[in-house]
Amino acid sequence: MDWISVKNFDNALRNRYAHLHKKIDAADVRASRQLAWPLRLFHTCPRSDGAAAVVMTSAETAAGHATVAHVRGFGCAADVYRIGDRIEEDGTDFAIPRSQAWACEFAYRQAGIDDPRRQLT
């Protein structure tokens, strides 16, 4: 994991928009603050890292509308770090990212969407 952090920090040095510009080595990663075993500060993304928005509609619906998007719902969820900590008594597939599904459910509920396959086509 230390090597991956070093690689990612090195990649950030080549991106002028990256939040953190810092040359580190594996010793720096191991010396960074412990967050939750086995993760240390330099193993994780900075708080400003990552944001996404998806606007789904048909070309016909979008035609003639302004380029402004109105957020009608949002969702955020997290799951356990170690997949071995998940207990699936209902036969749920471990490969399915549950937190993404939970975030979608929250966003759909806020936006008043109860049938996304029908309402987002």
Question: How far is residue 62 from each of residues 59, 74, 99, 111, measured CA to CA in Å?
Answer: 5, 21, 30, 18
Supply the pLDDT for residue 87.
66
Task: Give the lowest-confidence range in 30-39, 41-50, 84-93.
Answer: 84-93
pLDDT tens per residue, range 62-121? 787 776 667 788 888 877 666 666 666 666 666 667 777 888 889 999 999 999 888 876
What is the percent of the chain with per-residue pLDDT over 90, rounded to a whole number? 31
Asked if residue 40 lies in contact with residue 33, where contact means CB atoms within 8 angstroms, the answer is: yes
Task: Give the lowest-confidence range in 9-23, 25-39, 53-67.
Answer: 53-67
Residues 6+ apart with CB under 8 A from 33: 40, 41
Question: What is the rounded average pLDDT of the residues 17-30?
Answer: 92
Amino acid, single-letter form, for residue 102: W
Rounded-to-integer distance, Cα 38 and Cα 10, Å: 22
* pTM assigned to the model: 0.43
Q: Count CB neighbours of 64 within 10 A.
A: 6
Residues 6+ apart with CB under 8 A from 5: 24, 29, 42, 43
Asked if residue 91 lies in contact with residue 49, where contact means CB atoms within 8 angstroms, the answer is: no
